[in-house]
Amino acid sequence: MRRMAGHPLGTGRAIGVAWLIALLAVALSSVSPAADDIDGVGLQEEAVFRAAAAAVAPAVVRVEVAGVSEVGLGGPAEASPASGPSSGLVVGAEGWVVATSFAVPKDATQAVVTLPGGVRHVARVTGRDLARGLVLLKIDLPAGTPPLPVMEAVPRAMLSVGQGTLVLGRAWSASEPSVGVGILSATNRAWGRAVQTDASVSPANYGGALVDLEGRVIGVLAPLPAETAGMMAGTELYDSGIGFAVPLEDILRVLPRLQAGETLSPGIIGIGYASRDPFTAPPVVATCRADSPAGRAGMRVGDTIVEAGGQAVTRVAELKHAIAPLYAGDTLDLVVERGEARKRVAVRVELVAMLPPWRRPVLGLVPRRVGPDAAGNPEPAKLPEGDGEKPGVTVAWTWPDGPAARAGIVSGDRIVSVRQQPGEGGAEPASLDVSSPAILGGFLSGLDAGTVVDVAFDRGGEAKSIPVALAAQPTAVPIGVPTTEVDPATTAVERLGAAEIVRPAWAVLPAATAQAPLGVLVYCGQPAGVAGIKPSRAAEIDEALKREAERWRGAATRYGVAVVLPQSSDPQRWGREDIATLARTLDGLRLRRAIDPSRIAFAGSGAGGAFAWLAAEALGPAVRGVALLDATLPRQATISPTEPGRSRSVLIGSLPGAAVNRIDDDRRRLEAAGYPVGLLPDLAGDGLPTETLCSWVESLGVL
């Protein structure tokens, strides 16, 4: 079958069935009777399109978020739309309609559903599938109303790449659906939750039907995120030739639960992986919380998952395809290989919707800095000349009065292994040979504060072992963080320019080597963009930023921290466009200096503090800390519960006499979500706490 491109529905110029037929009729009138191909569409294909669209169109409806008013006392409800239209699909003759959360967001309890004949009904939200972004609506049909048409679902097993498809929506017209034509381009997308079509899919037909050429429904069009491409909203692919649909077979399987009023949440097992690359790396467990489904089932850091749901898995992506389609409450059988002997262990995990806030447990030791490997992960610790190839993590310093310090661990000790002491129940305790700070941190993240571990270490060639009770990550900046004796004159103060950066940041750059990489502090002050202002004023702003950079030189040198002072693109505000510029700036920094990925922090004052939080959220786990100086969290910030690999230290400070209600509210929200929150001393005048912030960056490496 030749492919006919679908029309972009989002432009407001939908292709109705009648319009498509009329177009073909005009084309037919201009050619000889012997022609069997009109503008790339054969006569037989045209008839197939017509029949398939006509078969499914009666079940495709229009959906709008409802504003509902009562007419008189006890009168009938009158529906009026409160937002733009989208589409839906009838899945039950008694008035059951599936739509998407794009059309019916989480705070909506009702919607207006317009049937193909133009009759409008108030529908109530009865259930939600959060994993797939679907909403089930129920129309209470008046007595005597004929049953609504329900379409046949195409079984997943009958789908094949390359088969013809139509997409149908009804956002623009209640009388005729809008139509797009394409092929089925993949049968297992969005980590197994969806199929993919190259027909034009837009917000107007989200909730509509993906149809095969026999007039059966393949699935419901939905804006699922393309996570591997960094597209998380699900709407970024509009009109791109990539559209997703949740198979109708999958929806019907859970329809009784949605009809019963359930909210179906994505299921999680509570592990993190040793590599950030899901496509080539094996599923080796790097973090495993004790209170997670995986931890309760007996999984451990270092396990390699080799089977999931009875299917062999060799890559993280294959494991994600096995987990993502499941819901909280479902069970999954796994097989792991453990230890050097690769012993196979079967475990059964029951997935949950959410884990309790995680509070990071630590030994209270700070390892020597290490640089990143080619994938951006911290490399195994580099040892001084004479130590050979011995593995381990060398202690740079211990946290004052922390667990390691109280147990007798000192600077220079080389941690070689850790072993959890046996607890109740006689289960075999977890143990780990330590090869890098990241591996040790992953092991500790699977334990709870208060857990006792035996720490084996080498001190001057003598092997020792000491029990240490883990503690929650400290919140305050420690006193007495070690400093270097490097001359500040060796530290450069220069621009971090690049061809694609219009407003380069000023940076304070101490000397660094691969064995002694730098920490990073990005400090965002008040907006100071130069776009659209006079050259003389732009020069003044630039000179002020340079002077501010000079104020950081001494502290940056003593603690080995690169300090970056970015500029905003707009003189009046920080914007989301500045986040992309900041990411490119950090890429440029990595080309100039070796960077320790475990010691990267953002800080800001006033509006710059709110921007620092948003930028840290956008750049993800790479940012290990955020400091807010006389600043509050942005209004749009969502504070998700912490978990291994998704937590960061937070420092909060305020000016003397400043209103602290909002700041206190932020602190309580963060602490309730599991974040370690420390308080800075009161900020006096315009003095920046350069010493405190640079020593804090060094302390972020605590394990």
- The secondary structure of residue 190, as a DSSP letter, is T
How wide is the angle at C-alpha 648 spanned by C-alphas 296 and 328, nearest 5°?
35
Instruction: Report the distance separating Cα 17 and Cα 28, nearest Å.
Output: 17
Q: How many CB atoms lie under 10 A from the CB of residue 151?
A: 20
277 and 257 in a common domain: no
Q: How many CB atoms lie within 10 A of CB 338?
A: 18
Q: Is residue 481 part of a domain?
A: no
Residue 435 lies in a domain: yes
Domain for residue 356, yes or no? Answer: no
Average pLDDT over residues 31-35: 39
Last residue of a domain, one of 447, 472, 497: 472
- Is pLDDT at 261 greater than 80 in this prediction? yes
Residue 100 pLDDT > 50: yes
503-525 pLDDT, tens digit per residue, is 788 889 999 888 889 999 999 98
Residue 428 confidence (pLDDT): 62
DSSP 430-451: PEEE--SHHHHHHHHHTS-TT-
What DSSP character marks residue 488?
G
Mean pLDDT (whole number) for 619-634: 89
pLDDT digits (tens, 9 = 90+) for 658-672: 556 778 888 899 999
Contact yes or no for 128/104 (Cβ under 8 A): no
Which has more confidence, 201 or 18?
201
- In terms of domains, do 408 and 307 share one? no
Whether residues 180 and 314 share a domain: the answer is no
Lowest mean pLDDT among 287-301, 380-394, 603-617, 684-698: 380-394
CB 516 within 8 A of CB 532: no
234 and 312 inside one domain:
no
Instruction: Report the alpha-carbon distance of residue 443 to residue 202 in Å, rounded.
Output: 45
Left, alpha or beta for 614 (phi > 0: left; psi -120 to 50: alpha)?
alpha
**480 within a domain of the structure (yes/no):** no
Q: Which residue has the tokens 């990411």?
A: 583
Segments of 574-702 assigned E as strands: 595-605, 625-629, 649-653, 677-679
For residue 267, CA distances in Å to 19, 260, 326 come to 44, 19, 6
Q: What is the pLDDT of residues 395-453, one digit of tens each?
A: 999 999 999 999 999 999 999 999 988 754 445 666 778 888 888 888 888 888 888 99
Do 332 and 390 belong to one domain?
no
Query: Are residues 327 and 303 located together in one domain of the fold?
Result: yes
Residue 186 has pLDDT above 80, yes or no: yes
Which backbone phi and psi does 34 adopt, to 5 degrees? Answer: -80, -15
pLDDT, residue 445, reads: 84
Q: For residue 497, is it within any domain?
A: yes
Q: What is the pLDDT of residues 469-496, one digit of tens each?
A: 999 999 888 888 999 888 999 999 988 8
CATH number of 584's domain: 3.40.50.1820
Last residue of a domain, one of 350, 384, 405: 350
Same-domain status, 457 and 497: no
Q: How far apart are CA 215 and CA 55, in angstroms?
A: 5
Q: Is residue 479 part of a domain?
A: no
269-273, 439-443, 508-512, 678-682: range with highest mean pLDDT: 508-512
| pLDDT of 8 strictly over 50 | no
Q: Is the model's pLDDT at 264 over the cut of 60?
A: yes
A 10 A CB-CB count for 562 gives: 29
pLDDT given at position 385: 41
- 376 and 506 fall within a common domain: no
Confidence of residue 311 (pLDDT cuts 50, 70, 90): very high
Mean pLDDT to the nearest integer, 670-697 = 84
Residue 386 lies in domain:
361-472
Summary mean pLDDT of the chain: 82
The 3-state DSSP class for residue 185 equals strand
Whether 435 and 532 map to the same domain: the answer is no
List, for residues 123-169, the tens digit of each pLDDT value.
999 999 999 999 999 999 999 889 999 999 999 999 999 999 999 99
Q: In 10 A of CB 661, how many CB atoms?
A: 8
pLDDT at 247 over 90: yes
DSSP 8-state symbol, 404: H
State whether 19 and 116 are in the same domain. Answer: yes
Domain assignment of residue 404, yes or no: yes
Identify the three-state secondary structure at position 444: helix
Residue 460 has pLDDT above 80, yes or no: yes
Count of structural domains, the chain = 4
Assess whether 656 and 525 both reside in one domain.
Answer: yes
* Last residue in a domain, options 321, 350, 379: 350
Which CA distances in Å does 587 have to 608, 646, 684? 21, 21, 34
Query: Can you give the pLDDT at residue 67?
Result: 53
Task: Decide if 477 is inside a domain.
Answer: no
Same domain for 503 and 461, yes or no, is no
Measured CA to CA in angstroms, residue 338 lies from 426, 431, 456 at distances of: 18, 11, 21
Q: What is the CATH number of the domain that holds 326?
A: 2.30.42.10
